[in-house]
Structures are given as C-alpha cells and as structure tokens.
C-alpha cells in the first residue's frame, strides 16, 4: 500500500487505497484512483464501484454510456443529509493511531494538514470555508472549529471537534452555533446550516434524550484514528447506524 501511495501524485485516504488494492489489475487500480480523486468519490461510492466491477464492465461493454449512466444514477446527489454525513469517519491518515493524548487543537491542525484525504473521507461536495470561525455578539465571542460547505446540499456544515465521548453540553453548544450562524452569518439563497459533532465516541442516551433527537440540523458522528479490521468496521457501522436511528427519533 505504501508503494502504491508513494508512486502516485493523487492524495486519497488510506481507506480509499485499501479498497483500490482489492483490484488485482494495475490498469484498474490506476483508473479507480484517478476517478476517485477527480470525482471526489466517498469510500462508500468507491467500494460500490469496485465491488460491481464498474471498470471492467465499462471496458467490455459495447454500450459504455449505459454503464456510465447506471453508475451515475447510483451515485447521483440527493438531498438526504445522511448520505453526506458519514459515521464512523475513518481518519487513520491523521497520524494519531492509538495515541489518546492529542488535544482538540492537535486534531484540528492535523485535519488541516491532511485536508484532501479528510475531504475524500467525508464524501463528495465538501469544501473548507474557514477554521476557528469567529462569531461576535453583543456579549460574547465564539469560535467554531471548522466550517465546510456542501455544494450538493447547498448548505454550510459546522464541525465541532471533541476528543472525548459525546456529552449533552456539546450538543447544546452546537445547537447554539447553528442558530447563531443561520441568524448572523448565513447568506441568502442557502439551505439551513448543519452542525456536526465529530467525537471520539457517541452516546445513545444523548442521541435519544437531547435536542439531537429528531433535529435535522444537528448530527454527531464518531471518528476513528486507526484502520479497523473488517469485522471491527462492520460492528462500528452497525452501532453507528443505530446511533443515527436514535438521532432521527426512530425508536
């Protein structure tokens, strides 16, 4: 995997490269790598295309347009926010691995230093707008860790980074940030702002009993600073699917 990355000028996340290496053909690996970078495929989209043999079907088909249109239909932008908010976020490229002594400032700086892989992991349509966004009111000054914009959802996405398990205080703070941003900062013509709490771990009670429940502007997700095994990743995905279900108020 290191050799593949070293030879390539394209910067993808480790998760992308792990998926690409499932393909035995070098020509196919090179093609998937280029397309993933050019089209900003999420790891979910890349895995679907590799598993469905998209490259080989495109190569062998006499009707390449039909195969191409099929893929685009499966990956076409939707207005479902959960299609763009991954949980868990696999961020092994940040370099922390099993180290738990890093601070929120360290986490933010590492995201900035590895911005392209982070955007690739987040999925299609994200662009960085600002960091430590300053909002001034008559009484206080507030700073939002990261502000992104998603062009498919046509909205700003505020990200608050937490190196601890999700707490109800964090949810209340993000709820306030979203309300302030919509009232004080949001330009006309954009959809309501989304707030995303990116935490070291999630909490089912907070999802169920806090204002996260049933709120389509507030979300929380877990990040991993290491590459899990296939079984670990499967368990994490199932756990976080249940967490998202609780956030949506689906008992």
pLDDT tens profile 146-163: 999 998 888 999 999 999
Using an 8 Å Cβ cutoff, are 228 and 90 in contact?
Answer: yes
Residue 101 has pLDDT above 90, yes or no: no
In angstroms, rounded to a whole number, what is the distance separating the alpha carbons of residues 133 and 126?
17
| Residue whose token pair is 């499932």 | 22
| Confidence class for position 7, pLDDT limits 50, 70, 90 | very low
Specify the pLDDT at position 76.
Answer: 53
In angstroms, rounded to a whole number, what is the distance separating the alpha carbons of residues 116 and 246?
31
What is the tens place of the pLDDT at every residue in 172-199? 999 999 999 999 999 888 999 999 999 9
Residue 107 has, within 13 A of its CA and on its CB side, a CA count of 23
In angstroms, rounded to a whole number, what is the distance separating the alpha carbons of residues 134 and 137?
10
Percentage of residues in the chain having pLDDT higher than 90: 24
Q: Which domains does the chain have, with CATH numbers?
A: 2-75 (no CATH), 81-247 (3.40.1350.10)
Stretch among 29-38, 123-132, 164-173, 240-249 having the lowest mean pLDDT = 240-249
In angstroms, rounded to a whole number, what is the distance separating the alpha carbons of residues 163 and 149?
23
């Amino acid at each position: 995997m290191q050799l593949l990355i070293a030879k390539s000028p394209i910067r993808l996340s480790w998760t992308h490269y792990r998926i690409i290496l499932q393909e035995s053909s070098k020509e196919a690996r090179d093609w998937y790598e280029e397309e993933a970078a050019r089209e900003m495929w999420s790891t979910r989209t890349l895995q679907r295309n590799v598993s469905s043999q998209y490259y080989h079907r495109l190569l062998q088909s006499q009707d390449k347009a039909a195969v191409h249109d099929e893929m685009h239909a499966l990956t076409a932008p939707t207005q479902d926010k959960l299609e763009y908010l991954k949980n868990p976020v696999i961020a092994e490229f940040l370099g922390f691995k099993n180290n738990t002594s890093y601070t929120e400032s360290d986490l933010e700086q590492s995201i900035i230093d590895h911005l392209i892989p982070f955007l690739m992991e987040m999925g299609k349509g994200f662009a960085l707008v600002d960091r430590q966004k300053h909002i001034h009111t008559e009484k206080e000054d507030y700073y939002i860790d990261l502000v992104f914009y998603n062009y498919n959802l046509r909205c700003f996405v505020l990200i608050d980074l937490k190196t601890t398990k999700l707490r109800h205080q964090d949810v209340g703070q993000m709820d306030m940030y979203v309300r302030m941003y919509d009232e004080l900062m949001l330009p006309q013509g954009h959809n309501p702002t989304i707030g995303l709490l990116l935490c070291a771990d999630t909490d089912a009670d907070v999802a169920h009993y806090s204002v996260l429940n049933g709120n389509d502007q507030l979300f929380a997700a877990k990040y991993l600073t290491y590459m899990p095994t296939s079984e670990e990743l499967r368990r994490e995905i199932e756990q976080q699917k249940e967490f998202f279900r609780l956030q949506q108020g689906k008992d």
